[in-house]
Structure 1
Amino acid sequence: MIKAIIFDFDGTLANTLPICFVAFQDVFKEFDNKDLSSDEIRAMFGPSETGIIRENLENSNKENAIELYYEKYLEHHEQLVKPNSEINEMIAYLKEKDIKIGIVTGKARRSLDISLKALHMDNLFEIIITGDDVIHPKPHPEGVVKALSLLEVGKNDSMFIGDSDADIEAGLKANVMTAGVQWLPDYQPSEFSVKPNYIFESVTDLKKYLETAVQF
């Protein structure tokens, strides 16, 4: 029986990839005078935003670069990241069914808080684990394991849902059921290199699964 669902954030609960690209492009242009493509930025993904800047920026003034990233992230959020009614309805559905929900994301706490507040999604989740809260980012299972402990739910009663191979690998290493989602634009590979237990192409697919697999 599914008692808890843990979600990735970027590409799973919100279409935030465009704003990440813009903010990183502004930072690397300002501090390194580099015009980076979306693919070049995507190749850096793994650590939190602060980790990406500290590891990849050549300019030594990394703290100011980090501040610029958050400034641009906030500045462009309303324009580039829109609320998704299907995602909001799904969260309301899960809460109505008394399924605990949490987030495990590689995002830094600061940018996640900006997004949650802007999308009116703050205070919806029982637990939140960000890239600031772990030593080892996904695909390491540390974040998922921490989330299970805080939710006080067993591995067999939980599912981790994400849009990337790193998400699926982290869930599998944590020995929880995994689902790969392809329900938001800009993110999804045509197929997952690491095979999840389930693939949901729409929010409706998740609801159908829960209705057949879980007795409420």
Structure 2
Amino acid sequence: MKAIIFDFDGTLANTLPICDYAFQSVFKEFDNKQLSSGEIRAMFGPCEVGIIKGNLLHENKEQAIELYYEKYLEKHNDLVAANQEIHDLLLEMKRKGLKLGIVTGKAKRSLDISMKALQMHDFFDVIITGDDVIEPKPHPEGLLKALSQLHVNNHEAMFIGDSNADIQAGIAADIYTVGVHWLPDIQTMEFSVAPHAYYKEVREFINSLPAGMTQ
């Protein structure tokens, strides 16, 4: 095992509440719709720009996109707390000599806001966002790009995610795929496709790794 690739929302950071808040603000402001968290998360797949362009009825999509980022930044510190267990996990993986990557449906703009706030930038060797792919998860395009940029093959990597789309993408890329529900807010309660492994606690995952798992 040479590399671990992570999803972001619901896997590395408890950012789903801020996504909900920003989308709810946009759809209320522009379409006068009150959307539930479930309704919002049912639209996930494309990045936030794609979600707004594909689902907002109001013609002023660009202004709506700007409001999304304004709201995402405005409440980020209130709704997204740093997680010491995740921080320790990333430190442990780097200590083991593993390459780390992110493959997320988020656009680079919102990911940068979150990673700056959570001081995560220095951990990762490659980051693939929703801006970098034509086909979002569950398509494996993002994972295949990450593997290529990390210079590892699929059998030398692991992918960790919390949603159905994550698990499907990992399986489609023929990567050892781990489902996790270790943060308070998650996208998928039950996976429709079985991951190779499943963890509800960060520490449980760390303890499962072989002591000599390095490059």
TM-score range, shorter chain: over 0.9
Q: Provide the rounded CA distance (Å) in 1 between the counterparts of 2:187 and 2:110.
A: 22
Root-mean-square deviation (Å): 1.3
Quick one: structure 1 residues 215 and 83, their matched pair in 2 at CA, closer, same or farther if it must change by over 3 Å?
closer
Match of 1:73?
A: 72
Match of 1:134?
A: 133
Describe how 1:8-157 pairs up with structure 2 within 5 A. Answer: 8-157=7-156
Match of 1:210?
A: 209
Quick one: structure 1 residues 160 and 70, their matched pair in 2 at CA, closer, same or farther if it must change by over 3 Å?
same
Q: Provide the rounded CA distance (Å) in 1 between the counterparts of 2:210 and 2:65.
A: 44
| Secondary structure in 1 matching 2:167 | helix
Q: Provide the rounded CA distance (Å) in 2 between the counterparts of 1:28 and 1:85.
A: 33
CA shift for structure 1 position 42 = 1.3
Q: Which stretches in structure 2 are left out of the alignment for 5+ residues? A: none
| Comparing 65-74 and 36-45, the one that deviates more | 36-45
| Superimposed CA distance per residue, residues 3-62 of structure 1 (whole angstroms, 9 cap, x where no aligned partner) | 100000000000001111110011011111111111111111111000000000000100
Quick one: structure 1 residues 215 and 149, their matched pair in 2 at CA, closer, same or farther if it must change by over 3 Å?
closer
Q: Which stretches in structure 1 are left out of the alignment for 5+ residues? A: none
Q: Provide the rounded CA distance (Å) in 2 between the counterparts of 1:116 and 1:214.
A: 26
Q: Provide the rounded CA distance (Å) in 1 between the counterparts of 2:42 and 2:92.
A: 35
Give TM-score, length-normalised by structure 1. 0.96
| Comparing 132-141 and 115-124, the one that deviates more | 115-124
Give TM-score, length-normalised by structure 2. 0.97
Q: Provide the rounded CA distance (Å) in 2 between the counterparts of 1:87 and 1:195.
A: 23
| Comparing 35-44 and 51-60, the one that deviates more | 35-44
How many residue pairs match? The answer is 215
| Contact 1:3–1:153, Cα closer than 8 Å, also in 2 | yes
| Secondary structure in 2 matching 1:167 | helix
| Contact 1:162–1:181, Cα closer than 8 Å, also in 2 | yes
Structure 1 residue ranges (4+ consecutive) displaced by more than 6 angstroms after TM superposition: none
| Contact 2:143–2:170, Cα closer than 8 Å, also in 1 | yes
